[in-house]
Amino acid sequence: MSDNESISENIEEYLEVIYKVSLEEKKPVTTSNISKNLNIAPGSVTQMLKKLDKRGYVHYSPYKGAVLTEKGLKVASKVTRKHRLLERFLNDILKLKKDKIHSEACQMEHALSDDAERALCQLLEQPDQCPDEAPIPACDFKFDSCEECLERKHEDVEEVGSRDENLISVISLGENEVGRVSFIRGDYKVIRRLMDMGITIGAMVSVIKLAPFKGPVEVSVRGSKLALGRDIAKNVFVELIDCESKDEDGALVHG
């Protein structure tokens, strides 16, 4: 991001909630929903949403609610990623009690640097979900695979650089949306198998169907149709190829 303005913890908390809710509901997040989630009076939430709108993090329209912009999404997914990585760390390594993990991670997430985030991800061996099974978003460093991140261990994240585009998982692609594969999380063998079937970095994919009960995803790539198990598909990240009106709809309301 060009503007290196410091973002207050408060803003991060708001964006995190909007991110979480909009991924679940796929529609604008209402003031009352945010107020419930953050335990803040609706009046103050409205105030804050207006402020966030002005600073370009969300699109806010009074009665409808808030939708993350590309810029907001970037911050939100990053802080969500840090939160969920920390949850994993507190759970897997420090073995904290489960009910304490969330609030602990909420405190730590704002202070965690990008380098520490990356190191944590490597230490935990690239987890793809937090202890509550919510997905951990992909990192925003310029890597095509976890393999590459490991190989370039000696370079810190400033040297690596960060992506301009937001990454979303293939499973969050809506109908009629096309994504360019940009990052595949996971081990070498899976990536290899995906590549043999045509899912290489840079390939265009679209979702044909998502089976219910966390079933597989049918994607179209290079003129062929593939079924990918949810565990594999959720680790294939794409940049959305913009058709139109992304800014109107916001970044997380697809389809």
Give whichever of 101 and 233 is closer to other proteins, judged by the CB atom: 233
Q: Which CB, 130 or 226, lies closer to other proteins?
A: 226
Window 182 to 221, contacts with other proteins (CB under 8 A): 188-198, 200-203, 209-216, 218, 221
> What amino acid occupies position 222?
R
Contact 110, 12 (CB under 8 A): yes
Q: How far is the CB of 228 from other proteins (least distance, A)?
A: 6
Asked if residues 210 and 255 have their Cβ atoms less than 8 Å apart, the reply is no
Measured from the CB atom, is 196 or 244 closer to other proteins? 196
CA nearest neighbour of 121 among 95, 98, 103, 143:
143
Count of residues that bind other proteins according to CB under 8 A: 44
**Interhelix angle 114-123/70-88, nearest 10 degrees:** 50
Q: Looking at 12-20, 71-79, 88-96, 223-231, which segment touches other proteins (CB under 8 A)?
A: 223-231
Name which position in 142, 163, 180, 254 contacts other proteins (CB under 8 A): 142
**Which residue in 13, 74, 68, 71 sits closest to 45, CA to CA?**
13
Site string for other proteins, 37-66 (x = CB under 8 A): ------------------------------
Q: Does 174 bind other proteins (CB under 8 A)?
A: no
Query: For residue 246, what are the CA distances in angstroms to 105, 202, 203?
Result: 32, 21, 21
Is 39 or 224 the residue whose CB approaches other proteins more closely?
Answer: 224
The residue (of 17 and 226) whose beta carbon lies closer to other proteins is 226
**Nearest-approach distance from CB 163 to other proteins, in angstroms:** 13
Nearest CB to other proteins, comparing residues 218 and 249: 218
Do residues 79 and 111 make contact, with C-beta atoms less than 8 angstroms apart? no
Binding to other proteins by CB under 8 A, coded x per residue (else -) over 92-121, reads ------------------------------
Pairwise CA distance, residues 251 & 221, whole Å: 23
* CA dist., res. 87 & res. 197, Å (int): 34
Closest by CA position to 238, among listed 188, 196, 194: 194
Helix (H, G, I), strand (E, B) or coil at 107: helix
User: Cα 251 vs. chain centroid, distance in angstroms?
Assistant: 11
Identity of the residue, 104 or 147, whose beta carbon is nearer to other proteins in the bound complex: 147
One of 2, 103, 224, 245 touching other proteins (CB under 8 A): 224
Residue 152 binds other proteins, judged by CB under 8 A: yes
C-alpha 66, offset from chain centre = 18
Residues that bind other proteins (CB under 8 A): 142-145, 147-148, 151-152, 188-198, 200-203, 209-216, 218, 221-232
